Structure 1
Amino acid sequence: MAVEYFVLVCDDVPHDVVLTDPGARVIDVAQVIRRLTGLSLWRSKVLATQAPAVILNSVPEEAAVAAVSALRDAGAEAEIRERSEWGS
């Protein structure tokens, strides 16, 4: 019996939001991370200080753009990475 794999093509490729540098205003960035993820303020601050860190996994492009914009407004450097792994 042969195993067959199919690649599904969809319009909305999932994206990751990556915090590359929290900047000087770490508390402001942690508050944005808290709002985006629902984590506690303490865990959000730990995540902000561990940059580069993935803040959001597999979100639609519109949500990723909004999250990066909010992080940049708080003084952080963030980027959107398109998920390229198959099956993840």
Structure 2
Amino acid sequence: MADERGYVTVVCDDMPRTVVLTDVGARTLDVLQAVRRLTGLSLWHSKVLMDQAPVVIHDGISEEAAEIAVAALREAGAQADVRPQLRPDSPGPAV
């Protein structure tokens, strides 16, 4: 929709998503391989990231890519969630 000044308002329905590894589970080696595959990190860095759970694995990706990543983590035995990414100018959660 354009107004008198020629500006256009763009509405984006696909909010960026965040993939959060919430719990590693019992199959740590399988989860480690999944984290390594998803992030492209080294084995050591993937292990360090995994040990910090709950931790963000991916940030600012499409909903489809986030669902694929969560499915891979769950298949490996982990618990993971897809969360909408907050806009930088939006207020965070109340403390």
**What TM-score, normalized by structure 1, do the two folds share?**
0.85
The Cα of 1:87 is off from its aligned counterpart by: 4.7
Larger Rg: 2
Whole-angstrom distance in 2 between the partners of 1:56 and 1:87:
20
Matched, 1:22 2:11: no
Structure 1 runs (4+) greater than 4 angstroms displaced: none
> Amino acid of the residue matched to residue 9 of structure 1?
V
Match of 2:39 in 1: 37
**Residues 26 and 49 of structure 1 are in contact (CA less than 8 Å); yes or no, is this contact kept in structure 2?**
no
Aligned residues: 82
The Cα of 1:27 is off from its aligned counterpart by: 1.7
Identify unmatched segments of 5+ residues in structure 2: 1-8, 91-95
Which shows bigger deviation, 51-60 or 78-87?
78-87
Deviations, residues 48-78 of structure 1 (Å, cap 9, x unaligned): 1110000001000000000000000000000
Matched, 1:64 2:66: yes
Query: Identity of paired residues, percent?
Result: 60
Identify unmatched segments of 5+ residues in structure 1: 1-6
> Amino acid of the residue matched to residue 49 of structure 1?
D
Match of 2:13 in 1: 11
Match of 2:53 in 1: 51
> Amino acid of the residue matched to residue 12 of structure 1?
D
The Cα of 1:83 is off from its aligned counterpart by: 1.0
SS at match of 2:30: helix
Cα RMSD over matched residues? 1.8
Match of 2:3 in 1: none
The Cα of 1:86 is off from its aligned counterpart by: 3.7
**What TM-score, normalized by structure 2, do the two folds share?**
0.79
One of 73, 76, 81 as aligned partner of 1:74: 76
